[in-house]
Amino acid sequence: MCDRVTECPTISIQLQVALPNNLDKYNLEDAARKAEVEEVDLDNLMETNDGFHNLTNLEYLKREVFIGIISAVTAGFSILKAVASQIDVSRVCAIGLSNHGNRKLVEPSWYLESGIIRDPLPREILPGDAGIFTFEKTNCEYWHIILHWKFYNNQRMKSKLNFVNIDRLNLLSDATYGTAGTLTYTVEGTDTQIEVMWSVPMVYGVYSNRFNVQIEENQVASSMLHKFLYNNQSQEVSNGGHWMHRNHNNIKVHAAMTNNAKASLLVEIYYNLTTPITEVLGK
């Protein structure tokens, strides 16, 4: 059995087939627009999409937690939209991160400007696999629990927080937020990170879905990185910005996002690094 990283020659061949010469024609925009208006057929996906079937076998549907690893071949807007549709909140971002390269994606980091994630991101995404992640809006019930817990502990510690502030906590707990944040994965054996930013607002008209992807070195998800990605070259989906492409250090990233309140963001990563990972890691 060949070693997946250093010996299998088929990976580079698959990359050449998957990437046409004309990158302008290779985009996910049509797929994103189609997904916006399509109805979700869960029964059909269960029968025809191994990735969705595997997620349900892991009982992610019952738990309403959708963080898992599936084959990159099965990852697409249909499965992302199906996953998002099963989460019982009004604002969701289902992200698919497909690794079409020849190394692992490792060392995940994430920062949430608003909203929650229920489980940590997978520690690694193998070549040929895709990570499926869901982020959802902040639930008012969680805010009540968290904020009242903080209030109780501040009182117990005899802080100067006065009882008037409980009204402010109630106002905060009734506020509604969408989901917005940034995640990163590192290409194994390099200092290069794949950065993904998303924003699904609670109030449309004033705000709209936005996303950004970048390829940079020595980055970790943070408030500063999130604001930079949001304010620099991010796409506003409602203005036709369904697709973007990045190319840096022989790594190519394609991404597209739907303009739904339960949004889908698909990120495809292509690279074929020639230095064997055993040499990079000194093994």
Q: Report strand pairing: 179-187 vs 105-114.
A: antiparallel
Long-range contacts made by residues 233-239, C-beta under 8 angstroms, separation at least 24?
234/197, 234/199, 234/210, 235/210, 235/211, 236/208, 236/209, 236/210, 237/208, 237/209, 237/210, 237/211, 237/263, 238/208, 238/209, 239/208
What predicted TM-score, i.e. pTM, was given to this entire model? 0.75
pLDDT of residue 2: 47
Both tokens of 145, joined, read 């629990």
Q: Report pLDDT for 251.
A: 96
By DSSP bridging, strand 129-136 and strand 68-71 are antiparallel
pLDDT at position 187: 97
Domain boundaries, the chain: 10-138+176-281
- The neighbouring-strand residues paired with 197 are 182, 212
Strand partners, 214: 195
Among 56, 279, 90, smallest CA distance to 188 is for 279
Q: Is the separation of the CB atoms in 51 and 130 below 8 Å?
A: yes
The continuous run of DSSP H or E covering 237 comes out as: none
Q: Which CATH superfamily is domain 10-138+176-281 in?
A: Cytolysin/lectin (2.60.270.20)
Structure token pair of residue 82: 């199906």
Predicted pLDDT of residue 21 = 46
Query: What integer pLDDT is reported at residue 30 of this predicted model?
Result: 84
The CA R_g of the chain, rounded to the nearest whole Å, is: 20
Measure the N-to-C terminal CA separation of the chain; round to a whole number of Å: 20
What pLDDT was estimated at residue 50? 65
Which pLDDT belongs to residue 281? 61
Q: Could you tell me the CA-to-CA distances from 125 to 4, 114, 142, 190, 206 in Å, in that order?
A: 13, 25, 30, 15, 36
pLDDT tens for each residue of the chain, 283 residues long? 444 444 444 333 333 334 444 444 446 788 888 888 888 777 676 666 666 656 655 444 444 556 788 888 888 898 899 888 888 888 999 999 999 999 999 999 999 999 999 888 999 999 999 999 999 997 655 544 444 444 444 444 444 434 434 444 444 444 568 999 999 999 999 999 999 999 999 988 888 999 999 999 999 999 999 999 999 989 888 766 688 999 999 999 999 999 999 999 999 999 998 876 666 665 4
CA 130 to chain centre: 11
Task: Report the distance separating Cα 203 and Cα 190, nearest Å.
Answer: 39
